[in-house]
């Protein structure tokens, strides 16, 4: 799960999505294990939904968040004008039909890392089974 957090941050950085770092810092991962189950969780602030694929037209986005983004980028734009444009046309990521960074990285992680983990668990079970047969423990 720690790998997944890093992959999401790398994907965001590669797309230039790390303006204030707030969304990235909000990523939390954890894993729990019991005798029969292993479960992992990934949590982050709600804006992850718009982080990669943007925001469609409709309601005005939060102006305060846009102002923080403008300030972090060192731009001289009106937060209200940017929000109004986004409400009218959608964000650039939305208009470019970009996919969501978080969903992309989770999918890639599942395909690559989770498969390796499953193989390692299966091998561990096989080794333990052989040990039981050999030594009766």
pLDDT, residue 111, reads 83
pLDDT, residue 76, reads 95
Residue pair 25/4 in contact by the 8 Å Cβ criterion: no
pLDDT, residue 136, reads 64
Q: What number is the average pLDDT over the span 81-107?
A: 91
pTM: 0.67
As a whole number of angstroms, the distance between CA 126 and CA 110 comes to: 23
With CA atoms as reference, report the closest residue to 51 among 82, 91, 80.
Answer: 91
- Of all residues in the chain, what percent carry a pLDDT higher than 90? 20
As a whole number of angstroms, the distance between CA 117 and CA 110 comes to: 10
Which tokens belong to 52? 């990669």
pLDDT band at 58 (very low <50, low <70, confident <90, very high): very high
Domain coordinates of the chain in residue numbers? Answer: 1-53+99-137, 54-97
Residue pair 87/57 in contact by the 8 Å Cβ criterion: yes
pLDDT over 90 at 84, yes or no: yes
């Amino acid at each position: 799960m720690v790998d997944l957090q890093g992959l999401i941050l790398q994907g965001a950085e590669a797309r230039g999505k790390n303006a204030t770092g707030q969304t990235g810092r909000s990523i939390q991962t954890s894993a729990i294990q019991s005798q029969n189950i292993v479960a992992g969780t990934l949590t982050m602030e709600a804006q992850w939904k718009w982080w990669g694929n943007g925001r469609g037209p409709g309601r005005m986005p939060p102006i305060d968040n846009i102002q923080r983004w403008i300030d972090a980028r060192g731009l001289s734009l009106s937060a209200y004008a940017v929000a109004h444009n986004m409400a009218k046309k959608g964000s650039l990521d939305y208009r470019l039909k970009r996919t969501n960074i978080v969903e992309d990285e989770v999918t890639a992680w599942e395909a690559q890392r989770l498969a390796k983990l499953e193989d390692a668990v299966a091998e561990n079970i096989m080794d333990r089974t052989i040990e039981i047969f050999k030594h009766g423990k």
